[in-house]
Copies of this chain bind each other. A is one copy, B any other.
Amino acid sequence: MARAPIRPLIVQKGTQVFLERGYSGSAVQDITAAAEVPKGSFYNHFESKEAFGAEVLQEFFADLQRTISMTLEATGVPPLRRLQNYFAAIIEILDGQDYVYGCLIGNFSVELSPLSDVVRTELLRIFEQWVKPFQKCIIEGQETGAIRGDLAPDLLADFLLASWQGAIMRMKIERNRGPLDQFLTVVFDALLTPSKNEIS
């Protein structure tokens, strides 16, 4: 049986190890052991653990972009529904991990921002792209009157993304979807809703 190519295998296993143990809590040997490759092969493929961390992050975001494109960027779906579909898709992923590990982008933001300029630069780049499909949904929702019109779309998009990360953080402590549901209730039943005044 043909073996999977080593490099993507190490990235895939590394993602799981980083999710489970954090960046500093994962030794290169933990990652090569999970991938069942010799420890020495790691440095044939990656310059350093830090460069590997940045690459794992890029891959994680590339995966997430598939979810984004199927939800936030779906054609023919109303903007509020697209936002709801995105959060529902992420909850499905988090549910599959029993709400234990959270989001690698959020985890690395907290753990590595003070420690690695390489990873922090990658995180800045990711958030810059991540926020755009949210902005587009919000702009469209404001045009159709489905979303309150008195907050700038970029402000609202940044707030949603940051608050969602905060909800995931709290989820990791609670180990249930309660904080995610609280986010959805406040955002969709209250924050985004146009005021009566605005509708009339």
A residues whose Cβ falls under 8 Å from a Cβ of B: 19-25, 100-102, 106-107, 109-111, 113-115, 120, 123-124, 127, 148, 150-151, 155-156, 158-159, 161-167, 169-170, 172-175, 179, 182-183, 185-186, 189-191, 195-197
> By DSSP majority rule, is chain A's interface helix, strand, loop, or mixed?
helix
In whole angstroms, how far apart are the Cα atoms of A185 and B20 in the complex? 35
B residues near A175, Cβ cutoff 8 Å? 113
Residue in contact with A24 in the complex, picked from B21, B166, B167, CB distance below 8 Å: B21
Cα separation A24 to B20 with both chains bound (whole Å) = 13
Question: What separation, in Å, do the CA atoms of A161 and B166 have in the docked complex?
Answer: 8
Docked CA distance A182–B21 (Å): 31
Which residue of the partner chain, among B100, B115, B123, contacts A22 with CB atoms under 8 Å? Answer: B115
Say yes or no: B174 contacts A162, CB within 8 Å: no
Q: A21-B24, A107-B110, A110-B172 are in contact. Are A155 and B115 (CB under 8 A)?
A: no
User: Given the complex, which residues of B lie within 8 Å of A169, measured CB to CB?
Assistant: 106, 109-110, 162, 165-166, 169
- Tell me which residues across on chain B come within 8 A of A158, comparing CB atoms: 170, 179, 182
Residues of B within 8 A of A166 (CB): 162-167, 169
Q: How far is the CB of A181 from chain B (nearest CB, A)?
A: 10
